[in-house]
Structure 1
Amino acid sequence: MATAKKLTDNHLTCVICTEVFTDPATLQCHHTFCKSCLLKYTKTQPEAVQAKSIPCPSCRQLTKVTTLDSPVEEWVSQLKPSHVIQGLMDDFGPGAEAADANVCSVCKTQGKTTPATSWCSVCDEVFCDGCLKMHNIMPMSRDHDVVDVLNATKRKARHRFMCKTHKDKQIELFCKDCKMAICHTCCSIKHRKCDDVDTLDNMTPLVREHLSNQNQELKIKMTTSENITILRKFQIKEFQTNAQNIKDEIRNIRQRVVEVILSKEKQLLDKVDRSSDEQLHELQAEIKSQEIELQMYQQQYEFTANAVTSNCERDMYAVYESVGEASTDNGDTGNRLAAGRVVFTHDMDKLSKAVEELQLGEVAVVRGVSDRQSTPVLHHTIDFVSDGGKRDIHLNDVTVLTVGDITVTIVADYHNKSLKTYHTSDPNTLGNLLLSNWPWQIAKLSESQIAVSVPSSKEIVTVNVTPDPVLLSTIKTSKMYFALSTLSPSQLAAGTCRQPHSVDILDMTGRILKSINTGVIRSPDYIHVTSNNNLIVSERRVNSLVCVTSEGEAVFTYTPTADRAWTWPWGITTTSTGDILLVDRDSHKVIKLTESGQFVRDVLTHQDGLKDPRGICLDGNGFLYVTCGRCVSVFKFKKTVK
């Protein structure tokens, strides 16, 4: 029996489920697993599935499949166990145990294999008909509870909880001090000094409740772990996509630089062609002129030669006079300018230095604001001043959308009663949408739509971002709502003025669905909905931050004191990890709190260039946007190297 147990534990147990093999399958690396376990594991390895292979959970070696077009289930089902494993399973596996379980216990001690027909719940043994008669005759066992060995349900239900030390004693007690189920004999011998021993009947409901609670906690942990795994896999895809996009952008910049160099090369080559053509034209014109003069000289030569050989003096003097006149016409022939030549001059040292100093851009790892060791660095500033502004710019809130591949920054310009947009595809142009009155807070509805509160007009305006702002609808409300945030695709959370239930849940027509009490805050200036649908509200008249559930249950109220006391809390946002970022306007700070409302650190201060901050938001790349007067300051976070 010890050998069989050793074989089962060491050689017939699946390393994935840690149970004895059920339908074993052996891979090419000779490792064996349950088919169901192997199938689940393979489905978590997309790279191996793409390679049409089954990965080994132990050594990672791949087993190539023959039916490439078949589903993964068929790949695993076609695997067979090795002959050795199959032989051991036949002799010592669950099937063998089941066969032994149906053999009479008494006959088995005598080397017989008589089929069992009955099972005693007290002795926990099986008997054939003959041995059962002897069992029923014995005075100590005649009253034992016996059932048909094939009736598994009754057998399981009547299985007594027997002591492992005193095998004939049933466990009826539980020692709370030792956390052990014991029999009366164990209690008398080993647990005499224990203070708290209770009956099993009293403890069973408590144990069952404890295990149920533990199961619930495990279920929550499983869900959390699964969600984190899904999030990390999504982040991996995001990182890979982001890295590829950056590589493509670098290649595009390189191509543009190359195009500039090629353009300069073409300009130089064209200049060489033009200069060479001009010189060639001059030389060819000179050749033509010389050819004409040559013909003229030949004619004069022949005419003069004839006059010299002639006996007529009159003809000779006539030629002499004409030759003298002609010689004066070509007296400047030797003063003509020589043809020029094209030369190319360059400064190789200067060119090499320019190439070495050429900067295609900068690659840096941007840390999240949640990293406590990260420090903010001003990345860039967006100036929203425009010629159309009638008054000074006063940016009350900011949000960032990604419309297609374009990053769009939207601000609420309070003084100029408008929404303004800035997008990367056309950084020199600001979009502008005039509103009926002063806008307050922006709520993001989707990646292309927003809603903005206009309290003085009792309106909530929805806007489509194309990336320019385009009015979609105007929702008339019964109250003046300043604070505004999105609770769900069909519901808004809006803060009203000086009422006990200061936050209303609205549908997209402005109808009030319910009202929520936010404690010390009676007139919310800003409201933010967290990832778990809690509402965080701030008010400039109350130096506190309040968090409640969407049902109105209090989560926390944070009121800092002494040197951490706030002076004008306004804009709110949260990070991907749940941390809270709050703007304190008059102290020129952005403060970070935990999800439960505990102070962490001052993320930004006036030393970081923060002045009169109001609105705040984070984009998907970890950049922090804060409104400062007429500008939006954009910060990235770098880890401090010690």
Structure 2
Amino acid sequence: MATAKKLTENHLTCVICSEVFTDPATLQCHHTFCKSCLLKYTYTQPEAVQAKSIPCPSCRQLTSVTNPDSPVEEWVSQLKPSHVIQGLMDDFGPGTRAVEEHVCSVCTKQGKTTPATSCCSVCDVVFCEGCLQMHNMMPGLSDHEVAHLSDHTKTKVKRRFMCQVHRDEKVKLFCKDCKQAICTICSSIRHRACKDVDTIESTTPLVKEQLTSKIERLRINMTATNNNITWRKSTIQDVKSNSQTLKDQVIKTRETVMRAILRKEKQLLGDIDKATDEQLHALQADLQSQEIELQMYQQQYEFTANAVTSDCEMDMYAVYESMGETSPDNRDTDNRPAAGRVVLTHDLDKLSKAVDELQLGEVQVVHDVCDTEFSPVLHHTIDCKEDGDGKDPSVRDVTVLTVDGIKVTVVADYNNKILKTYYTSNFKSFHNQLLLSNYPWQIAKLCKIQIAVSVPSRMEIVTVNVTPDPVLLSTIKTSKQYFALASLSPSQLAAGTDRQSHSVDILDMTGRILRSINTGVIGNQDHIHVTRNNNLIVSERDVKSLVSVTSEGAAVFTYTPTGDRALTYPWGITTTSTGDILLVDYGSHKVIQLTQSGQFVRDVLTRQDGLEHPVGVCLDGDGLLYVTSARYVKVFKFCRR
């Protein structure tokens, strides 16, 4: 009963009326509805009626009708339910409850609950003894196959396979031309022109085999679709998280700009205060000088006035003689230089334009390399030539980290034995470097802010913290010269040598070999990449191949194309968010895209894109593609063609 209820709720319910199907009809798109519900819906779609078609309420696909000139009611009435729906209706639809509970179907309609004792496989109903006698007395029913229900049998007797057209005829034949199970009457009337009609007995094994194969394909499709759904849900969460991260970056940028404006404001206010203080100091000094002069003039005035008004002529002449022949200093104060004025000079139009052109950033959708509708466009180029480099750089590998919201590009400069970092912060570009003991080869990302770098000539692997400047954490001494390097887990490294060992060593973080994984034809591992499934992908220039194995050593695929697609010097490897593989071919100046199983998809970048002898490759979290070429790192975004 629980199974019947579940089937009824999930598969026998009309999505329009939300009830169990009443006279179901299946459209060409395989969606099923009650005929009455479908008719009402069709009347609400005049465009579909005008097009002489029945619209599907679920997917909007149109179903063509056999007789377009007949009324809409006949269009719908001529529709039949699918064999699957009809079978489910027969087994679990209305009226089957009595069969499952072994209660007489006829008595049930009369409101009685008489126990059933027999079942007619043609009528597909159960009877009590009295109703069975009535059934057997009916003309045309007496020859029906009736089986007795035992007390130990709680399941319904298997129905006979009866013709849908001739209800009293058993299905004995199968028309392969029409792919339809038929009776002998149908064969002689409706399928006379068909060339391939066989018996049900001989056709059933083939049909069962094909359906079994279809079940397997459906299972595979279900698994793949379920994986896609899981990935899409994860992608949705990533998109939401990325949206919030970008918003935070905008706010942070705005705060940075505001801090810069406030610094400008503080500087201007300081300049005003300084100029004002200098002006006030000069004015105060002049004022003090004027006050002293005024006091001196007042003294002379009083002294001279007293002498003039004195009764003693001797005092008057004494004052007069002290003045000499010169008269008092009558200064023209109007000729003194005027005090300077502090003014603020700014161009409001220029300021307004600068504010209008202010860019806190640019919002755009960066497409993934996996979508073949989008092609690479050069976004920018990083020149890794720095002052102090003894030689022209040769960038062997590149990776990108995000440290405290700052995107940091890390490159291994082979010729100068240096690890270099490049990033932008507060509208300024920075670069820094870490001198290594010898030539670096491949970079392995350990976590968000840590990397490991192989230094084969010194038999070393160094671990580095990116702060975003590179800071040496440790130096791991190894027993072999390891060139290729990748992170298998937070505590394990996958490392490859050039000693024709045909294996990749799995190391712990002290350099101890835990086990070795056979790589088949690959003897000198030039580059290793670990996929999200923990499979290893290894390239080698000598055998011109790309090999993928599991972490246990089982072969996944070997990519050794011939002809125009033959590899000349396979090197750097990375994988996309969907698992596709990007392979650098140094000799043919290409970045090649493969599926997870090693099937060719396309040439992503070629010499026509300005690529010359590429070596390293990586993707950042924004879908930008980084490719090293000589002293440069070229960064590409993907746009619609």
Aligned to 2:471: 469
Structure 1 residue 227: deviation in Å?
2.6
Aligned to 2:64: none
**Alpha-carbon spacing, 1:327–1:547, altered in 2? closer, same or farther (3 Å):** same
Q: Is the 8 A contact 1:455 1:481 kept in 2?
A: yes
Structure 1 residue 337: deviation in Å?
1.5
Q: Is the 8 A contact 2:615 2:627 kept in 1?
A: yes
Aligned to 1:20: 20
1:146 counterpart = 2:145: no
Structure 1 residue 381: deviation in Å?
1.1
2:617 partner SS: strand
Letter in 2 for 1:113: G
2:396 partner SS: strand
Aligned to 1:513: 515
Structure 1 residue 233: deviation in Å?
0.4
Structure 2: runs of 5 or more not aligned: 1-7, 22-56, 59-91
Q: Separation in 2 of the partners of 1:547 and 1:486? A: 15
Structure 1 residue 415: deviation in Å?
4.2
Aligned to 1:605: 607
**1:326-376 per-position Cα deviation (integer Å, ceiling 9, x unaligned):** 964535465862542415373637745863685446525344444554342
Q: Is the 8 A contact 2:418 2:433 kept in 1?
A: no
**Alpha-carbon spacing, 1:376–1:208, altered in 2? closer, same or farther (3 Å):** closer
Which residue of the other structure, out of 248, 257, 279, is the alignment partner of 1:245?
248
2:20 partner SS: coil
Aligned to 2:345: 346
Q: Separation in 2 of the partners of 1:100 and 1:592? A: 60
The share of aligned pairs that are identical, in percent, is: 39
**Alpha-carbon spacing, 1:640–1:195, altered in 2? closer, same or farther (3 Å):** closer
**Alpha-carbon spacing, 1:414–1:338, altered in 2? closer, same or farther (3 Å):** closer
Aligned to 1:568: 569
Which residue of the other structure, out of 267, 277, 288, is the alignment partner of 1:285?
288
Which residue of the other structure, out of 104, 108, 111, is the alignment partner of 1:113?
111
1:337 counterpart = 2:339: no
**Alpha-carbon spacing, 1:265–1:334, altered in 2? closer, same or farther (3 Å):** closer
**Alpha-carbon spacing, 1:167–1:424, altered in 2? closer, same or farther (3 Å):** same
Q: Separation in 1 of the partners of 2:378 and 2:485? A: 30
**Alpha-carbon spacing, 1:462–1:299, altered in 2? closer, same or farther (3 Å):** closer
1:202 counterpart = 2:205: yes
Structure 1 residue 390: deviation in Å?
6.4
**1:536-559 per-position Cα deviation (integer Å, ceiling 9, x unaligned):** 332223444444555443534243
Structure 1 residue 216: deviation in Å?
0.7
Q: Is the 8 A contact 2:147 2:157 kept in 1?
A: no
**1:575-612 per-position Cα deviation (integer Å, ceiling 9, x unaligned):** 3244433333345443445554425235153763x455
What does residue range 124-135 of structure 1 map to in structure 2 within 5 Å? 124-135=124-135
**Alpha-carbon spacing, 1:492–1:249, altered in 2? closer, same or farther (3 Å):** same
Structure 1 residue 528: deviation in Å?
2.3
Q: Separation in 2 of the partners of 1:326 and 1:358? A: 73
Structure 1 residue 471: deviation in Å?
3.3
Aligned to 1:81: none
Q: Separation in 2 of the partners of 1:469 and 1:15? A: 63
Aligned to 2:265: 262
1:265 partner SS: helix
**1:253-305 per-position Cα deviation (integer Å, ceiling 9, x unaligned):** 43144224413431442145225413541453255235414532442354134
Aligned-residue CA RMSD (Å): 4.4
Q: Separation in 1 of the partners of 2:491 and 2:159? A: 57
**Alpha-carbon spacing, 1:205–1:602, altered in 2? closer, same or farther (3 Å):** closer
Aligned to 1:53: none
Q: Is the 8 A contact 1:384 1:430 kept in 2?
A: no
1:621 partner SS: coil
Letter in 2 for 1:637: K
Q: Separation in 2 of the partners of 1:316 and 1:143? A: 164
What does residue range 451-600 of structure 1 map to in structure 2 within 5 Å? 451-467=452-468, 468-472=470-474, 474=476, 476-477=478-479, 479-489=480-490, 491-497=492-498, 499=500, 501-504=502-505, 510-511=512-513, 513-519=515-521, 521-548=522-549, 551-553=553-555, 555-559=557-561, 561-562=563-564, 566-593=567-594, 595=596, 596-598=598-600, 600=602
Letter in 2 for 1:165: V
Aligned to 1:163: 163
Q: Separation in 1 of the partners of 2:243 and 2:485? A: 35
TM-score, length of structure 2 as denominator length: 0.71
Aligned to 2:303: 300
User: Which range moves more in the overlay, 464-473 or 247-256?
Assistant: 464-473
Letter in 2 for 1:233: I
Q: Is the 8 A contact 1:275 1:342 kept in 2?
A: no
Q: Is the 8 A contact 2:503 2:516 kept in 1?
A: no
Structure 1 residue 457: deviation in Å?
4.9
Structure 1 residue 617: deviation in Å?
1.3
**Alpha-carbon spacing, 1:553–1:345, altered in 2? closer, same or farther (3 Å):** closer
Letter in 2 for 1:635: V
Q: Separation in 2 of the partners of 1:334 and 1:142? A: 138
**1:612-634 per-position Cα deviation (integer Å, ceiling 9, x unaligned):** 532221111222223333x4424
Structure 1 residue 497: deviation in Å?
3.7
Q: Is the 8 A contact 2:385 2:393 kept in 1?
A: yes
2:616 partner SS: strand
Structure 1 residue 392: deviation in Å?
5.5
State the aligned residue count.
Answer: 548
Aligned to 2:28: none
**Alpha-carbon spacing, 1:252–1:326, altered in 2? closer, same or farther (3 Å):** farther
Letter in 1 for 2:483: F
Q: Is the 8 A contact 2:99 2:125 kept in 1?
A: no
TM superposition outliers: structure 1 runs of 4+ over 6 Å: 16-19, 93-97, 99-103, 136-139
Structure 1: runs of 5 or more not aligned: 1-7, 22-56, 59-92
Letter in 1 for 2:399: T
Q: Separation in 1 of the partners of 2:13 and 2:159? A: 26
Aligned to 1:399: 399
Letter in 2 for 1:120: C
Q: Separation in 2 of the partners of 1:417 and 1:522? A: 26
Q: Separation in 1 of the partners of 2:589 and 2:95? A: 77
Q: Separation in 1 of the partners of 2:206 and 2:558? A: 38
Structure 1 residue 464: deviation in Å?
4.4
**Alpha-carbon spacing, 1:376–1:292, altered in 2? closer, same or farther (3 Å):** same
Q: Is the 8 A contact 1:117 1:126 kept in 2?
A: no
What does residue range 404-423 of structure 1 map to in structure 2 within 5 Å? 404-417=404-417, 419-423=419-423
Q: Separation in 1 of the partners of 2:132 and 2:353? A: 102
Structure 1 residue 222: deviation in Å?
2.8
Q: Separation in 1 of the partners of 2:358 and 2:319? A: 79
Q: Separation in 2 of the partners of 1:201 and 1:240? A: 56
**Alpha-carbon spacing, 1:115–1:129, altered in 2? closer, same or farther (3 Å):** farther
2:146 partner SS: coil
Q: Is the 8 A contact 2:250 2:360 kept in 1?
A: no
**Alpha-carbon spacing, 1:161–1:359, altered in 2? closer, same or farther (3 Å):** same
What does residue range 88-99 of structure 1 map to in structure 2 within 5 Å? 98=97
**Alpha-carbon spacing, 1:621–1:140, altered in 2? closer, same or farther (3 Å):** same
Q: Is the 8 A contact 2:420 2:431 kept in 1?
A: no
Aligned to 1:46: none
1:274 partner SS: helix
2:156 partner SS: helix
Q: Separation in 1 of the partners of 2:377 and 2:539? A: 24
